[in-house]
A = this chain, B = another copy of it.
């Protein structure tokens, strides 16, 4: 298996797991099966699509072929018929989701850097690739995005990995090594945050 094939395979696995999160939110919001499939697709692909819009890559990767659409539909239908099963295996799904986050952030940061974006905005675009789908998924379900609420370090893990990649990219280190290290940092931080319940603070005395 070549490196490109491996990355495509990992990308589609990440797409499937992210899409499951969209299906779960949609089932809870009592959407119909079409709404479930749309939220699956949005959760899995919107981060990357918005990154591609900002970089000027038309059409975005998720719409260049049919793979991401097919995988998202499959995840949506799976969520429609087997949502209880997903809830039951919530913890393994979260571990896979953390791995998908690491991959998406690494590939997104790299793409932005390759398009000539400066390191700090490239970090932002890498994080956006990882969390953008979940933000729009929640906005479509008319709820405040989970990633903005005190949850276990989701965006911060993404940002840390993206920062490592943005710094390492200009050092004399092979790019695959930089990307792997960045993705692993995201995964490990997110994994530890879930295990130990690490969260960020809210503002004190916020009753305004």
Contacts and interface: CB of A to CB of B under 8 A. Distances in A.
A64 interface: yes
Instruction: Give the residue among A29, A121, A125, A199 with the most B Cβ atoms within 10 A.
Output: A121
Number of copies: 3
A148 interface: yes
A38 interface: yes
Interface in A62-100: 63-66, 69-70, 79-81, 83-84, 87
Contact of A118 (B54, B65, B141, B208): B65
A32 B146 CA distance: 10
Interface residues of A, number: 64
Interface string A119-158: 0110011000000000100011111110111110001100
